[in-house]
């Protein structure tokens, strides 16, 4: 009977059914081997959140309009599956923006929006709305002025010509703001008692008539400022004067430099008029020569410094004997002339006397003839 049952088709069908049920129960029931997969599935479905700081973008016609009032960045908190939140945090492949395209000029309160976030994420933005001011855009170029405290200079020092690079800046902003600008300035801060040239980059400011900063964009935002600082100075002409003696020689001086700049204290400059004597030592000069004169040494304590430091002087030498011979020759000529004049006068006097003697003789002769005639008349 048992053998007949085992050989029956129903028996094998029953065994197959039992095996199928056992396999189904084994697969559908969690076991030790499935613990890891279960944990991974659980982790991927856990929600988390994070807060990011992201730039706030503007959608508007910024070529014609100037927009102010909005922050440069906002905070966005995102929440969702942990893996998705982490990926979004790392890539930040989304945008936060203000849509101003359809707004007119003036002040508006605008909602902050996002684009690009996964639909499985939820988010919140702070602030959720911002106030903006939309105005007509204007750009204008201004010259840069320099405003500094000259009381910071050391005593007996002065500032020279200031140089700026660049000398102008471009100002862009709302037309109403640009029109408020009274001047564009840099305000270098000089250390107290400064004696050397100031050379730094300085922030540029746009100020209204009351000295308050105007809300505009400056390009560039800084300017290179150079303020030469040196001792008090003035320009004077030079007089080349002989110093020392050389027997039997006369000297003349010539230089291409006619004026110099002298530096010194206020008292030193006040003691010098419009010219200054520069002594030229000729004690060792015997022939025509050129000397380089160190002005600081030549002028001594009259000044602190000069510009230039040195000058070239051509020295011409002439003999004092030649000059003396020329003078003696002139005296001899005068003596000869005087002698000639004296002889002429003597001759003139002799001739005059001779003429007087002849006249006297003639008169005597006439007198004798007159007497003889009178005697003859008496006899008759």
Architecture category of domain 137-231 in CATH: Beta Complex (2.170)
- Sole residue written with tokens 């908190």: 77
- C-alpha of 358 from chain center: 105
* Pair 43, 82: CB distance under 8 Å: yes
Low-confidence winner among 117-126, 199-208, 345-354 (lowest mean pLDDT): 345-354
| Cα–Cα distance measured from residue 272 to residue 31, given in angstroms and rounded to the nearest whole number | 111
pLDDT band at 15 (very low <50, low <70, confident <90, very high): confident
Asked if pLDDT for residue 132 goes beyond 90, the answer is yes
Burial class (CB in 10 A: 0-12, 13-18, 19+), 311: buried
Mean pLDDT of 85-91: 94
pLDDT at 46: 87
pLDDT at 345: 37
pLDDT at 358: 42
| Cα–Cα distance measured from residue 220 to residue 166, given in angstroms and rounded to the nearest whole number | 9
| Cα–Cα distance measured from residue 346 to residue 352, given in angstroms and rounded to the nearest whole number | 10
Residues of the chain with CATH 2.170.120.40: 137-231, 233-321
pLDDT at 210: 95
Low-confidence winner among 35-44, 45-54, 74-83, 255-264 (lowest mean pLDDT): 35-44
Q: With pLDDT > 90 as the criterion, what percentage of the chain qualifies?
A: 64
- Coil/strand/helix, residue 220: coil
How does the average pLDDT of the chain come out, rounded?
Answer: 81
pLDDT at 5: 57
pLDDT band at 293 (very low <50, low <70, confident <90, very high): very high
Helical H runs in 29-66?
35-44
Higher pLDDT, 29 or 342: 29
Mean pLDDT of 311-329: 69
* Pair 62, 101: CB distance under 8 Å: no
Asked if pLDDT for residue 65 goes beyond 90, the answer is yes
Q: Are strands 233-243 and 275-281 parallel, antiparallel or unpaired?
A: parallel
* Pair 56, 77: CB distance under 8 Å: no
* Pair 226, 201: CB distance under 8 Å: no
Low-confidence winner among 109-113, 134-138, 156-160, 361-365 (lowest mean pLDDT): 361-365
Burial class (CB in 10 A: 0-12, 13-18, 19+), 342: exposed
| Cα–Cα distance measured from residue 99 to residue 220, given in angstroms and rounded to the nearest whole number | 29
pLDDT at 23: 76
For the domain made up of 45-127, give the CATH fold.
RNA Polymerase Alpha Subunit; Chain A, domain 2 (2.170.120)
Q: How many residues does the chain have?
A: 380
- Coil/strand/helix, residue 202: strand
What residues contact residue 15 under an 8 Å CB cut-off, 6+ apart?
A: none
Helices H / strands E in the chain, number of each: 8, 23
- Coil/strand/helix, residue 98: strand
- Coil/strand/helix, residue 100: coil
**Cα angle at 17 between 16 and 20, to 5 degrees?**
85
What residues contact residue 145 under an 8 Å CB cut-off, 6+ apart?
A: 183, 184, 185, 186
The CATH number that domain 233-321 falls under is 2.170.120.40
What residues contact residue 192 under an 8 Å CB cut-off, 6+ apart?
A: 152
- Angle between helix axes 35-44 and 82-91 (nearest 10 degrees) is 50
Asked if pLDDT for residue 313 goes beyond 90, the answer is yes
pLDDT at 244: 83
Asked if pLDDT for residue 369 goes beyond 80, the answer is no
């Amino acid at each position: 009977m048992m053998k007949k049952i085992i050989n029956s088709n129903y028996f094998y069908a029953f065994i197959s059914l039992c095996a199928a049920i056992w396999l189904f129960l084994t697969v559908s029931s969690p076991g030790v081997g499935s613990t890891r997969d279960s944990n991974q599935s659980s982790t991927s479905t856990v929600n988390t959140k994070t807060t990011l700081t992201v730039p706030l973008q503007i959608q508007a016609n910024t070529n014609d309009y100037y927009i102010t009032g909005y922050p440069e960045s906002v905070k966005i908190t995102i929440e969702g599956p942990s893996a998705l939140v982490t990926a979004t945090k790392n890539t930040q492949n989304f945008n936060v923006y203000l849509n101003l395209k359809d707004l007119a000029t003036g002040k508006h309160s605008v909602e902050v929006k996002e684009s690009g976030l996964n639909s499985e994420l939820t988010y919140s933005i702070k602030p959720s709305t911002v106030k903006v001011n939309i105005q007509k855009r204007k750009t204008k170029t201004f010259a840069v002025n320099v405003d500094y405290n000259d009381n910071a200079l050391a005593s007996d020092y002065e500032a020279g010509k200031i140089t700026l690079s660049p000398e102008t800046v471009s100002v862009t902003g709302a037309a109403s703001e640009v029109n408020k600008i009274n001047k564009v300035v840099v305000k270098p801060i000089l250390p107290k008692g400064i004696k050397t040239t100031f050379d730094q980059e300085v922030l540029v400011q746009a100020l209204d008539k009351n000295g308050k900063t105007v809300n505009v964009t400056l390009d560039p935002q800084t300017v290179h400022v150079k303020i030469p600082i040196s001792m008090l100075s003035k320009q004077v002409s030079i007089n080349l004067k002989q110093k020392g003696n050389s027997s039997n020689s006369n000297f003349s001086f010539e230089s291409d430099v006619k004026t110099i700049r002298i530096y010194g204290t206020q008292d030193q400059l006040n003691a010098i008029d419009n010219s200054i004597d520069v002594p030229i030592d000729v004690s060792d000069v015997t022939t025509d020569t050129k000397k380089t004169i160190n002005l600081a040494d030549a002028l001594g304590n009259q000044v602190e410094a000069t510009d230039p430091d040195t000058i070239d002087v051509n020295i011409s030498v002439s003999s004092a004997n030649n000059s003396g011979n020329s003078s003696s020759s002139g005296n001899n000529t005068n003596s000869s002339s005087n002698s000639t004049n004296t002889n002429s006068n003597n001759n003139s006097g002799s001739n005059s006397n001779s003429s007087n003697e002849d006249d006297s003789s003639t008169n005597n002769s006439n007198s004798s003839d007159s007497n003889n005639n009178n005697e003859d008349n008496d006899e008759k």
